[in-house]
């Protein structure tokens, strides 16, 4: 299932996507989370994407926070945690505007 979602949403290969490399997808509450930590000097900044499938294709929300971590793996772990928190707090409002891309 993860490889299917990975191919569907661009996976961790980074091919055809601009910006940071995305992690493998994580399903949560009918949404997909992909961590995409950004380099910040010798640290990694918490960032990622929350994706919802709609009849018109995927709707995507990027989130970026000031938190930094010493390792890429740690930044991925906390990015997924933050995405779950965003989903729990914002729920349906996260995609209420119906725009294909945006910020969380």
Contact 48, 16 (CB under 8 A): no
Which residues 6+ apart lie within 8 Å of 96 measured at CB? none
Name the phi and psi angles at 75, rounded to 5. Answer: -65, -35
Domain definitions of the chain by residue range? 2-11+19-103
* Matching residue, tokens 């994407």: 49
State percent of the chain over pLDDT 90.
65
Q: What is the pTM of this model?
A: 0.79
47-57: average pLDDT? 92
Cα angle: 23, vertex 26, 46; to 5 degrees = 50
Q: Tell me if the domain spanning 2-11+19-103 has CATH number 2.40.10.230.
A: no
Tens-digit pLDDT profile for residues 77-96: 999 999 999 999 998 899 98
- Whether 29 shows a pLDDT value over 60: the answer reads yes
């Amino acid at each position: 299932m993860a490889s299917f979602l990975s191919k569907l949403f661009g996976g961790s290969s980074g091919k055809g996507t601009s910006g940071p490399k995305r992690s493998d997808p994580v399903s949560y509450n009918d949404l997909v989370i992909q961590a995409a930590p950004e380099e910040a000097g010798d640290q990694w900044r918490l960032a990622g994407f929350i994706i919802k499938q709609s009849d018109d294709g995927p709707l995507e929300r990027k989130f970026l926070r000031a938190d930094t971590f010493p390792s890429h793996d740690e930044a991925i772990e906390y990015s997924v945690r933050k995405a779950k928190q965003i989903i729990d707090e914002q729920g349906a409002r996260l995609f209420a505007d119906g725009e294909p891309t945006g910020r969380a």
